[in-house]
Structure 1
Amino acid sequence: MSGRYLLDTNIIIVLFADEAVIKNNLAQANEVFIPSIAIGELYYGARKSGRTQANLARVDELVANSAVLVCDAETAHRYGDVKNKLRLQGRPLPENDIWIAALALQHNLILVNKQNGRELCCTYLCECSLSG
């Protein structure tokens, strides 16, 4: 699994749970980035959890040891494109997922997420960037 990857929030949560397969795959990556949007989601999850302090510390450690990508005007431009393409396809997504996809497109990264119990790379992202 070599390449340049952007991790979605749900993959980061799996990494926190020490899932070996995903950790091993990501260890082979050339570069791994964390979107600032995911960090916000993780801080929110930590705040509402039963182990607030431990989970906040875990997120703090992730931020300190990761390459974090933040949104800018170019990200916003990509966000608008992706959201409109999804609207035209009748495929709404949560707002944060669209922002994360926009960051991946902007930086030419493979988006890694986990849905329905399996690891997916670049699902809606590829479709949005290649169509229309």
Structure 2
Amino acid sequence: MYLLDTNHCSRIIFGESNVIRRLQEHIGLGVATSVIVQGELIYMVQKSSQQEANLRFVRTFLQTIDLYPISGGVADVYGSLKGEIVENFGPKDKAKRRKFTVQDLGFSDNDLWIASTALHYNLTIVSGDSDFQRIQQVQALALESWL
């Protein structure tokens, strides 16, 4: 089962043929995305100059794909994963950690939520985002890119 990240969803929505071809090759194995990605796509629409048309494209796409929610199990994985990231990449001095965030390391909270969803449900993330490669240094995360 595959969990599409925002960069792959947006390319599918806007017709990038290579990514669409790969999607068609994997569709029988199960392809989904996360409600976090849904939020990122809607945010992209809000920033666009063609909001009405782009919102239609996004809504149509989201109706054709399964969406994984943020459950209590996903939240537990998120908390553990975030702690491991800080432990492995963050400052060793406890005083410095108090004001420290994962964003200081270049990780986005949204990517941690997406990774936590994949880990909880044992999914392969499909993304071109390097955050997920760095997450693999602390968790065994299945990752592919169709770009």
Question: Do the two structures share a fold, i.e. TM-score over 0.5?
Answer: yes
Q: Aligned in 2, Cα 1:125/1:111: closer, same or farther, shift over 3 Å?
A: farther
User: Which among 134, 137, 142 is matched to residue 127 of structure 1?
Assistant: 137
Instruction: Work out the percentage of aligned pairs sharing the same amino acid.
Output: 28
Deviations 1:60-83 (A, max 9, x none): 111211101000110000101111
Aligned equivalents of 1:106, 1:125: Cα separation in 2: 14
Q: Is structure 2 residue 128 aligned with structure 1 residue 114?
A: yes
Aligned equivalents of 1:84, 1:47: Cα separation in 2: 32
Matched pairs, number:
124
Aligned equivalents of 1:14, 1:56: Cα separation in 2: 15
Say what the alpha-carbon RMSD is for the aligned residues: 2.1
Q: Which residue of 1 aligns with 2:107?
A: 93
Q: Is structure 2 residue 2 aligned with structure 1 residue 25?
A: no
Q: Rg: which structure is higher?
A: 2
Mark the runs of 5 or more structure 2 residues left unpaired by the alignment: 90-104, 142-147
Q: Which residue of 1 aligns with 2:102?
A: none
Higher strand share: 1
Q: Which residue of 2 aligns with 1:119?
A: none
TM-score, length basis structure 2: 0.76
Deviations 1:82-125 (A, max 9, x none): 11111122155100000000000111000011147xxxxx6345
SS at match of 2:49: coil
Q: Contact 1:105–1:125 (CA<8 Å) still a contact in 2? A: no
Aligned equivalents of 2:115, 2:140: Cα separation in 1: 13
